[in-house]
Amino acid sequence: MVLLNDGERKTLGGVPNNDVPNNDTQLPGLGRARLARELFSGRYRPGQSLQLDKVAAEHGMDHDSALRAFAEFQALGLITLAGDSSAIVHSPNPKEMPEAYEIRAALEEIGGRAAARALKGNTAALQRELDAMRSAFRDRDLDSFVEHDVRFHRSILQAARNEVVLRVWDSLAVDLRIQGALGKVLTDLGDVVESHQPIVDALEKGRGREAGLLLRNHVETLSEYIKNPESDSGFHKALPGELEGAKDVQRAFFPSNSLSIPCLSSETFYKPAQEIGGDYYDFLPLQEGRWGIAIGDVSGKGISAALIMASLQASLRAQASRSHFDLSTLIGDVNRLVHDSSPTHFFASLFYAEYEPATRMLKYVNAGHNPPIVLRPHENRPQVFRLRSGGMPVGISPDSQFLTSTFQLEIDDVVVAYTDGITEVESRSGEMWGDHGLKELLSSSSGQTPAQIIQRILGKVATFADRLPQRDDMTLVVMQVKPGCNV
């Protein structure tokens, strides 16, 4: 039995048992689970030789159980068996685990969609598995958690009655992979447990499409933890030290400066009101040369807003990377995922666009966000266009509808996207700078580069606030269309 802390050892029934040696209390399955964690976590050196009988004795397994476990680990590329008495350890392939989770995500989406008919009004067994996961989390019992987590997901695939999907899922050795990944999600294990409840609710109502998306998002979120362990635990590690260094952790969520959209010059600015915040922007390379452009603002500030922001980013990236018919459907799926995975009082405004450099066409959904401003050169004063809202913020209602709009950009057009921390800055007299102040400044910015426009805005905001402390997160994304991409 493995505990989340160094407290008393427990039997499977949860009864304290501090006096019995480890080898006498373990079952072969528990020894296999602990060995999996040790192999994934790097306890053994690459090239190290493991003697089967010695490992079996240490982990409370007989020879045959240990040999079967070693055969599974060999299939995962963790070891190479040398006969039936020893094995050579290999370094875990850092790409292999995320790739396996990508396959798992696709399989579980298929399974969730197909299982909805059979599980509609018939999710009592799934609810019992979820309640057992909650109990295991409260008891800080990792082995029991993994057991019920695997049963939960496998039950859904069994209900789908697709033998091929189930066979491939089994071949991924999901239970061993969960054991290997647990060390990277311990700080968020409570959230991982609770993310199963919306899946049960969707299946209970027979909503296959929603259940499939929730299952995919659940698995892909775990995959993100595995690929970026520093972002998984960074917030929590920062708390005891008053969030020291948390800015660097959150910065990892934002796109790399090396990303460059063809024929689109861009500059960004982000400054949270506290150490970390809930504003968000992203650039996403998509299929067929398209680019996703996002900016959002989560309600609230600080660590709670930052965690919802991370969930929004993961949901949007996961959905945008897949083929879709239109942006309204995409944002509708993101909205349901955010709604089902967030506390009821959290929501987020979101502007998401897909840009085609070859045609300079901008297709977008504005979900309750401040309308980005488009400046078009025109004689002495630019024309000003606004990319207005076509729906409420995401996360408020699972059934919200979103309108897709298009805007034809031209060479030298400048797009200015921002969050309300820019326009809602106040002077010492309590006056708000407002959208009007921003529009007036931009109307006198003809011929300026994105970097110059950002500097002008920040300078004006600083002057207007007159050294008053920042009250809200501030984000700017400024882009200018450049020639060179054929239309």
Question: What's the CATH number where 82 sits?
Answer: 1.10.10.10
DSSP alpha helix (H) spans, 60-162: 63-75, 96-119, 124-139, 142-160
Residue 374 shares a structural domain with residue 473: yes
pTM for the structure as a whole: 0.55
Residue 138 shares a structural domain with residue 217: yes
> Residue 19: its pLDDT value, please?
34
Residue 83 shares a structural domain with residue 102: no
Instruction: Confirm if 114 and 160 have CB atoms less than 8 A apart.
Output: yes
> Looking at 73, 89, 105, which one is the last position of a domain?
89
Residue labelled with tokens 């922001």: 309
Instruction: Confirm if 453 and 416 have CB atoms less than 8 A apart.
Output: yes
241 within some domain: no
Residue 390 shares a structural domain with residue 477: yes
Domain count, the chain: 3
Neighbours of 155 (CB within 10 A): 17
CATH of the domain at 437: 3.60.40.10
Which of 322, 317, 122 is CA-nearest to residue 227? 317
Residue 58 shares a structural domain with residue 106: no
Residues sharing a CB contact under 8 Å with residue 387, sequence separation 6 or more, in sequence order: 351, 353, 362, 364, 366, 371, 372, 373, 374, 405, 407, 415
Q: Which tokens belong to 112? A: 């969730």
237 within some domain: no
136 within some domain: yes
Residue 442 shares a structural domain with residue 382: yes
Residue 103 shares a structural domain with residue 193: yes
CA 208, 211, 213: angle at the middle one, nearest 5?
Answer: 110
Q: Is 50 helix (H, G, I), strand (E, B) or coil?
A: strand
Residue 69 shares a structural domain with residue 108: no
Residue 117 shares a structural domain with residue 146: yes
Containing structural domain, residue 190: 96-227
Q: Is 394 helix (H, G, I), strand (E, B) or coil?
A: strand
> Residue 301: its pLDDT value, please?
66
251 within some domain: no
Distances (CA, A) of 216 to 133, 197, 250, 328, 405: 19, 14, 24, 19, 28
> Residue 306: its pLDDT value, please?
76
100 within some domain: yes
Distance CA 85, CA 67 (A): 8
pLDDT under 70 in the chain at which residues? 1-30, 33, 37, 40-42, 75-77, 91-98, 177, 179-188, 224-253, 258, 300-304, 325, 343-345, 486-487
Which H or E element spans position 452? helix 450-465
Phi first, then psi: what are they for 426, rounded to 5°?
-115, 150
Neighbours of 61 (CB within 10 A): 26
13 within some domain: no
DSSP alpha helix (H) spans, 269-365: 302-320, 327-341
431 within some domain: yes
> Looking at 89, 111, 126, which one is the last position of a domain?
89
Distances (CA, A) of 402 to 327, 342, 439: 8, 20, 26
HSE-up of residue 71 (Cα within 13 Å, Cβ side): 9
Distance CA 434, CA 437 (A): 5
Beta strands 79-82; 348-356: pairing state: unpaired
310 within some domain: yes
> Looking at 55, 89, 123, which one is the last position of a domain?
89
Q: Is 440 helix (H, G, I), strand (E, B) or coil?
A: helix
Residue labelled with tokens 């969730």: 112
Residue 36 shares a structural domain with residue 153: no
> Residue 13: its pLDDT value, please?
32
CATH of the domain at 205: 1.20.120.530
Instruction: Confirm if 269 and 454 have CB atoms less than 8 A apart.
Output: yes
Widest CA span in the chain? 86
> Residue 165: its pLDDT value, please?
85
Residue 359 shares a structural domain with residue 429: yes
Residue 293 shares a structural domain with residue 413: yes
